[in-house]
A and B are shown apart, each in its own frame.
Chain A
Amino acid sequence: MRVTVGFYSWFKDLTGCGRLTETLPAGSTVDELLQRLIVRFPELSAAQRSTLIAVGVDYQDRRCVLKEGDEVSLFPPVQGG
């Protein structure tokens, strides 16, 4: 299955891109996606623990099972207000 991944804030600088498409085995979880991304972008590893993850417009934990076409967003702790 294919999912799109968006990076926000300084994660864009870490990865050198704002958005990419990743192909995963069906039934993959957010954590499995994250581990693939860390292999691809080792700089993400240091931020792994504080990384926030959304699927669509909702926060999800790393056990969330992804499906075809999901939009996954990765970003650091938020700083609004």
Chain B
Amino acid sequence: MKRRLEITAEPIDEAVLLRERSISRSMGAVVYFLGVVRGTEAGTNISALDYEAFQRMAEHQISLLFDELEKRWPLESVRLVHRVGVVKVSEPSLWVEVAAPHRGEAFAACQWLIDQLKQVAPIWKKPVAGDSPLATGL
């Protein structure tokens, strides 16, 4: 299974990620997920989320998830990009893609990976209020 993992402070460029997609003739399904920052957090309006990661551990833990993915489903590839730092509302913070022979396994694998990521990856988010200096700098 081909793997690509990035934890980056750079904006997630969906167009580039889509252009870089490479799948073989035997793949019939590509499922991808884009997580974006919602405008509210715990009922309060926000302008952004400030993501922090324990990067080395997050990379290791996500690699372990990739190992488990490979055991569970016949995927050809997985790509995951998680942004860190300040991410504005409606901007992407997470991009996940899997390629599989059939849609059932592609949907299941993608959902599983995201659910597990949320439980194990040492990444945290702090809401940025609209009047915060972090927000005005955006």
Contacts and interface: CB of A to CB of B under 8 A. Distances in A.
Interface of A: 6, 8-10, 52, 54, 56-59, 73, 75-76, 78-81
B120 A78 contact: yes
Given A78-B121, A81-B94, 13 more contacts: A6-B54, A8-B122, A52-B122, A73-B57, A78-B118, A80-B58, A80-B82, A80-B123, A80-B124, A80-B125, A81-B114, A81-B117, A81-B118
Interface residues of B, number: 25
Nearest to B114: A81
B114 A75 contact: no
B52 A78 contact: no
A57 B53 CA distance: 12
Interface of B: 35, 51-54, 56-61, 82, 93-94, 114, 117-126
B96 to A, nearest CB: 9
11 contacts: A6-B54, A8-B124, A52-B122, A58-B60, A75-B124, A78-B119, A78-B121, A80-B82, A80-B117, A80-B122, A81-B114
A81 B92 CA distance: 10
Nearest to B116: A81
B56 A8 contact: no
A17 B118 CA distance: 26
Contacts of B60: 57-58
Nearest to A52: B122
Contacts of B118: 78-81
